[in-house]
Structure 1
Amino acid sequence: MPEALGFRLVFGNLGEHMKNYVEKHDKLLRHLQMTIETATPDYARVTMPLTENHKNGMGCAHGGAIFSLADVAFGAAANAGKDMGVVSLSTTIEFLRPGTCGPLAAESYVVRKGQRIQSFTVKVFDGTGELIAQCMASGYQTDILLPD
């Protein structure tokens, strides 16, 4: 099914429930052509091509596309292997330089995991490996089972 829609999902230890949930419900991930390459409870890597649809009026990666990529990487690591959802609590991002070549890649690393609050650092790189943005993201562990 995903291949027919023009995108590809590759899951590490996300768990079958999360994989099915993302494939069924995350329309933005599909629209932006993101690929979850790796997702574990401590680390995730997500890539996205840099097409004309991902660029701003100046021809660089759009800040909203970069932020979305970082958010998906955070969410992939925060929710890896879980049946209960983690939702964003707070995210701050710094745009360090323009993203001018793709694909873009976001890597999310766990900083701290408490009972309910989780903190991650996310770094976004352009196609040459240059750091173009970094963010801190925190999430809240809910008691809500992700629906089918």
Structure 2
Amino acid sequence: MSAPVTAEGLSKEALARACADAMWADDKASQGLGMEIVEVGPGRAVLAMTVREDMVNGHGICHGGFVFSLADSAFAFACNSHNQATVASHCAVSYLKPGRLGERLTATAQERWREGRSGITDVTVTNPAGEVIAEFRGNSRTIRGTLIPETAE
């Protein structure tokens, strides 16, 4: 039996990956939407999702709520990469192009600012051609707790 993962002694990259793994284990929403973690690091995350038939609205394009959900999940993984439990306090999205049935959308989140308990993270959602379909900005707030223990008990 392997020892439980703790933050002690991990590099920032390894810590970000361990935090993502811990979050992913219980993230039924992102999993249920078919999202995949492509990359994660300190203050950044890349998630992808393929637009399914049940995600298309009456205009024949990806419903904005699914685009928002993808961006929000990438935001969450980027914000929580420092092993401090962090939630959204405000988010805004601008839709620039439609997502289409069958397209694999990619959300790239990058922390822009973090100080004290607050942060700002930008997320760009692109289609397979690399075209930007949405820009998302999230404000985060650190709450009590960690994703993985700081040290072994």
Superposed pair shares fold, TM > 0.5: yes
Q: Name stretches of at least 5 consecutive residues in structure 2 with no aligned partner.
A: 1-12
In structure 2, the residue matched to 1:143 is 144
Q: Which residue of 1 aligns with 2:34?
A: 33
Q: Cα offset for 1:78?
A: 0.6
Secondary structure of 1:105's counterpart equals strand
1:48 aligned residue: 49
> What secondary structure is seen at the aligned counterpart in 2 of 1:57?
coil
Residues in 2 aligned to 1:17 and 1:133: alpha-carbon distance in whole angstroms? 26
Correspondence 1:1-148 to 2 at 5 A? 13-16=15-18, 18-23=20-25, 25-82=26-83, 84-100=84-100, 102-146=103-147
Larger Rg: 2
Unaligned runs of 5+ in 1: 1-10
Q: Kindly provide the amino acid, as one letter, of the partner of residue 138 in structure 2.
A: A
Question: What is the RMSD computed on CA atoms of the aligned residues?
Answer: 2.1
1:15–1:70: structure 2 CA closer, same or farther, 3 Å change rule?
Answer: same
Amino acid in the other structure paired with 1:140? R
SS in 1 for 2:122: strand
TM-score w.r.t. the length of structure 1 is: 0.83
Runs of 4+ displaced beyond 6 Å: none
TM-score in terms of structure 2 length:
0.80
Q: Alignment identity in percent?
A: 28
Task: State the match for 1:8 in structure 2.
Answer: none
Aligned residue identity for 1:40 = G
Q: Which amino acid aligns with 1:61?
A: C
When residues 54 and 21 of structure 1 are mapped into structure 2, their CA distance, relative to the original with a 3 A threshold, is: same
User: In 2, Cα distance between the equivalents of 1:73 and 1:86?
Assistant: 13
Number of equivalenced pairs: 136
Q: Distance in 2 between matches of 1:131 and 1:49?
A: 15
8 Å CA contact 1:12–1:39 kept in 2: the answer is: no
